[in-house]
Each structure stands twice: as C-alpha cells, then as structure tokens.
Amino acid sequence: MIRELIDRLEGQHILTKEEFCTLIDGAGGEDREYLFARARRQAQAVYGRAVFVRGLIEFTSFCKNNCYYCGIRRGNSQASRYRLTEEEIMECCREGYALGFRTFVLQGGEDPWYDDEKLAGLVRQIKGAYPDCAVTLSVGEKSYETYKKWFDAGADRYLLRHETANPEHYARLHPEEMSSAHRKQCLRDLKAIGYQTGCGIMVGSPWQTTEHLAEDMIFMHDLNPEMVGIGPFIPHSQTPFKDKPPGTLERTLILLAVVRLMLPRVLLPATTALGTIHPTGREQGILAGANVVMPNLSPLSVRKKYMLYDNKISTGAEAASNIAELRRRMEAVGYEVVAARGDYAV
Ligand code: 5AD
C-alpha cells in the first residue's frame, strides 16, 4: 500500500490529500527506507552526488515581526540585536569566495533600517565584485515593486518559507497583522518576477496535523518553487512556544523525501535545524533526498545572536570556515561538496 503510493508519487509527482496523509503517517520501517532510496535516486538522476553549498550571512537580527515561534521576534526583549555593516558583509563574501562558495544568502529579520535602496546597493556591490556568484535574499514580505528592484539589482533567488499553507494554522503561529494569504501572494510575486523562489515549512510546529502537511504538499505542487526549506520546529525559551515539543528527525526526513519525489529538480537543503536536533541530521537529510547545505558565513562575534531557536549549532561543520569538515562528512555518506553556483536544473 505505502510502496504503491511511493511509486505513484515518483511517477506522477502528485497524490491526493488523503494519499499524502496515508504516506506521511504510514511510511515506517522498510517502507521508509524504500521512500528514502527512491528520493535519493531521484536527486541523483538530476544532480548526481553533488551537494551544493550556500554561504549564509545572517546580516541583521532586528525584526519588526512577532512570530510566536521565533527567537528574534520583536517581543523578545532579551535578544541582543546586531546589524552588520556593508563592509562587514563584503568581508563575509570575500572570505566565503576564498572558501569556494559561489552563492551568498543574505538572510535577516524584517529590519526597516536596511531599506530598499540600501539592500539594492548591497546586491549590486556583491554582484559587481563576484559576477560568477548567485545572490539569494531572505528578508521577508515586501511589495512586488521592492522585490522587482532587488531583482533588477542582480538578486537571483529569494527564500520565504510559507510556514504552513493552512490559513487557520498560520493564524495560530503568527500575530493578527500577518496572514497566510499575503505570504502566498509574496511567493507568487517572486515567481512572476523571475526569482528562483523558495518556500517551506517547519515540521512539528505547534498544532500542525498531518492534514496540514498534506495541504503544504499540494500548495508546493501548485507553486512549483525552485527551492524548498524544511526543518523541524525547535522551541526557543524566550518565546510563547517555549514549552511546545520540537518536531522530530523522522518526520522531517519523510517530508524531505516526499518533496523530492514531488518536485524532482527542487533545490532542497538539509537545514541547520535538522543538524541541531541530531548530530548527523544533515547527512541523514542528504540520504533522504536533500542536495544543499547552507554553512554559516556570519562573523563569529554575532553568530550566537541569530538564535531563531534554542541550541542552534553554529561552530562545527555548519560554520563556513569548517567546510573541510563538512566535505569529509558528506564524503563519508558518498556525496561531494562542489564549488558551483548550483542553480535550479532546467
Ligand atoms: N524552530 C525552527 N525553525 C524556525 N524558524 C524560525 N523560528 C524557528 C524555530 N523556533 C524558521 C522559520 C523561518 C526561518 C528563517 O527559520 O521557518 O522562515
């Protein structure tokens, strides 16, 4: 039964909502291994055994939003805030380029200080200095015009997780001023402008049901994003969700594999959150169909301040400076870290 669903997902790249539920809840034991093997085979058919790396620059921890799950939410008065200067960001890129990174991801809270013009200037500067590199932005919900301005400045990709496709569930994770509808509109705008666009979810976020995950699958199938970010929810002690249980490794891996089979060419990171809940979480993610890792290029002095969740790892193989360690760990499971832009396969 489960195997038949896996085969059909592999062949047709879609299931009904009910079938997704059956698969997500039912893939245990040998069926689960079968799912992962099919997902790996799919990833290898498109990208071989290459693992793409992205240098993640967490350039501001100021955020005007107040998402209930997030450690850098506006309401966390204990968070120590920082903002990298343009010079510091350029220095991160210089270091990253020397280490072999050919994609820089500028991620931050929604920080009004970094306005449209400042960010456009920064994108231009990075693309001018490193024309062979891709720039990915991940700075939240903006207008079509703003996204267009940054695209015209040279930004290649944009990450904006939709968090959950179900509007009622979304409303339980975010304050009233945020909406699932607006977030989805942003994603459609990004696609229309021409960005390689990434959506995504947390697995095991409070009140998430299997039906919600099935709805996420159907939403992602319709959006057809070039990238999907999936990691377990991990509580942060200074948020309203501090006592909520974390998402599990097992369920996150199943979701990664299902997404790989549904969107064969998608760029799918084994996330830092996955590496945080289990020491070999990222390797296991690769073996479930992921093909990207995003080591941290932020200066050591600020790394501990970008705490989206408790115990976020930041100094081991997830540090860009330790790319040699990451390379060894990927090689140990049969994969090769490559120095390439790693664009979506067309
Ligand atoms: N646990 C796991 N992931 C989180 N994020 C934010 N807070 C948490 C948390 N507590 C994720 C969100 C966001 C991305 C930048 O980090 O999905 O989109």
Residue 202: CB within 6 Å of ligand 1? yes
DSSP 122-170: HHHHHHHH-TTSEEEEE-----HHHHHHHHHTT--EEE---B-S-HHHH
Residue 203: CB within 6 Å of ligand 1? no
d(CA 331, CA 250): 22
Tens of pLDDT, residues 278-335 = 999 999 999 999 999 999 999 999 999 999 999 999 888 888 889 999 999 999 999 9
The alpha carbon of 47 and the centre of ligand 1 are apart by a number of angstroms equal to 27
Q: Calculate what percentage of the chain has a pLDDT beyond 90.
A: 97
Q: Which amino acid is at 284?
A: Q
The alpha carbon of 45 and the centre of ligand 1 are apart by a number of angstroms equal to 30
- Mean pLDDT, rounded, for 60-75: 98
In this structure, the residue with its CA closest to atom 13 of ligand 1 is 161
> Ligand 1 pocket check: which of 251, 308, 310 to mutate, most ligand atoms within 8 Å of Cβ?
308
Mean model confidence pLDDT for the chain:
97
Q: Does 120 score more than 90 pLDDT?
A: yes
Tens of pLDDT, residues 162-206 = 999 999 999 999 999 999 999 999 999 999 999 999 999 999 999
Residue 163: CB within 6 Å of ligand 1? yes
Instruction: Encode burial over 326-336: b for 16+ CB neighbours within 10 A, e otherwise.
Output: bbebbeeeebe
Q: Calculate what percentage of the chain has a pLDDT beyond 70.
A: 100
The alpha carbon of 200 and the centre of ligand 1 are apart by a number of angstroms equal to 10
The pLDDT confidence band at residue 228, using thresholds 50, 70 and 90, is very high
The alpha carbon of 233 and the centre of ligand 1 are apart by a number of angstroms equal to 7
Tens of pLDDT, residues 255-272 = 999 999 999 999 999 999
d(CA 64, CA 296): 23
Tens of pLDDT, residues 122-169 = 999 999 999 999 999 999 999 999 999 999 999 999 999 999 999 999
Q: DSSP label at 308? A: S
Under 8 Å between Cβ of 229 and 198: yes
The two most distant CA atoms of the chain are separated, in Å, by 57
Instruction: Check residue 318 and give its pLDDT.
Output: 81
Residue 273: CB within 6 Å of ligand 1? yes
Which residue, among 243, 269, 265, 242, has the nearest Cα to 255 in the 3D structure?
269
**Which domains are delineated in the chain?**
2-338 (3.20.20.70)
Residue 234: CB within 6 Å of ligand 1? yes
- Mean pLDDT, rounded, for 16-35: 98
Instruction: Check residue 316 and give its pLDDT.
Output: 82
Give the torsion sign (CA, 27, 23, 214, 105): positive
